[in-house]
């Protein structure tokens, strides 16, 4: 799968809902209930970060939930990409982009949403064939104002800003012509996941669904 094809696939996923929940889950027994609540709330595309020992088991469990599209976040190496795909991830998300990671995802047919912040990083991603990118860390890198500035010289690239995005500032990002969706961790806070409060998470997902 070429980078061009990968970006078409990731853009299609990003267009399914205005928010992709970014999930750090340490207990795989919570995975099915969490994914079911998010999908029921109208957020079918989920990013499970590879930051806990349980992450791959979480992906395996969530991949079985009807209507969901589960991806792996914090994919840094070819091995990360392969393990994520083998666990059932339908896409990968990385905070940056290397040629080695790009080649690996091409070889295993795993759509990659790579990260870029500066104009040079965006141009490098474009040279490799990517046109759908993650803007990370969004708030720390200047937020919506920075993304708006990139839209002028680089209008052919679209973004999913992640990092510091909240219910309050998400509309500022979503109003930009080069933003397809945002990634946010506020949808499923640790306390609600630990308490298996799926109703609260579903309600928060429904609220996020109306942001576009």
Task: Give per-residue pLDDT as tens, 162-211.
Answer: 999 999 999 999 999 999 999 999 999 999 999 999 999 999 999 999 99
β-partners of residue 184 are: 21
Identify the pLDDT of residue 116: 97
Task: Give per-residue pLDDT as tens, 39-51.
Answer: 999 999 999 999 9
CA atoms within 13 A on the CB side of 200: 12
Identify the pLDDT of residue 204: 97
Q: Is 202 a catalytic residue?
A: no
Cβ atoms 134, 116 nearer than 8 A: yes
Euclidean distance between CA atoms 133 and 153, whole angstroms: 16
Identify the pLDDT of residue 105: 98
Angle at the Cα of 103 (from 101 to 105), degrees rounded to 5? 70
Catalytic residue among 47, 106, 139, 202, which?
47
Euclidean distance between CA atoms 36 and 150, whole angstroms: 36
Euclidean distance between CA atoms 209 and 16, whole angstroms: 10
pLDDT band, very low/low/confident/very high, at 212 (cuts 50, 70, 90):
confident
Q: Which residues contact 196 (CB under 8 A, 6 or more apart)?
A: 30, 33
Neighbours of 155 (CB within 10 A): 10
Q: Is 134 a catalytic residue?
A: yes
* Sign of the CA dihedral running 77, 183, 143, 180: positive
Euclidean distance between CA atoms 101 and 98, whole angstroms: 5
Cβ atoms 46, 35 nearer than 8 A: yes
Euclidean distance between CA atoms 103 and 107, whole angstroms: 6
Neighbours of 8 (CB within 10 A): 14
Catalytic residue among 32, 134, 139, 145, which?
134
Cβ atoms 193, 201 nearer than 8 A: yes
Task: Give per-residue pLDDT as tens, 55-103.
Answer: 999 999 999 999 999 999 999 999 999 999 999 999 999 999 999 999 9
Euclidean distance between CA atoms 108 and 118, whole angstroms: 28
Structure tokens at 193: 């996941």
Identify the pLDDT of residue 163: 96
pLDDT band, very low/low/confident/very high, at 29 (cuts 50, 70, 90):
very high
pLDDT band, very low/low/confident/very high, at 151 (cuts 50, 70, 90):
very high
Euclidean distance between CA atoms 73 and 95, whole angstroms: 8
Q: What is the mean pLDDT of residues 128-157?
A: 97
């Amino acid at each position: 799968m070429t980078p061009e094809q990968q970006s078409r696939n990731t853009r299609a996923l990003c267009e399914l809902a205005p928010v992709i929940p970014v999930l750090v889950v340490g207990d795989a027994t919570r995975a099915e209930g969490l994914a079911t609540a998010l999908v029921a709330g109208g957020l079918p595309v989920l990013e499970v970060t590879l930051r806990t020992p349980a992450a791959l088991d979480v992906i395996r469990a969530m991949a079985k939930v009807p209507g969901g599209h589960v991806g792996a976040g914090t994919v840094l190496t070819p091995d990360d990409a392969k393990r994520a795909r083998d666990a059932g991830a339908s896409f990968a998300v990385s905070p940056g982009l290397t040629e080695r990671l790009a080649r690996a995802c091409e070889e295993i047919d795993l759509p990659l949403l790579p990260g870029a912040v500066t104009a040079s990083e965006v141009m490098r991603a474009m040279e490799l064939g990517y046109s759908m990118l993650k803007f990370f860390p969004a708030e720390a890198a200047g937020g919506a104002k920075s993304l708006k500035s990139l839209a002028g010289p680089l209008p052919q690239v679209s973004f999913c800003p992640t990092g510091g995005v909240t219910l309050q500032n998400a509309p500022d990002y979503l109003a930009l012509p080069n933003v397809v969706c945002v990634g946010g961790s506020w949808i499923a806070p640790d306390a609600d996941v630990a308490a298996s409060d799926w109703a609260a998470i579903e309600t928060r997902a429904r609220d996020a669904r109306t942001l576009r």
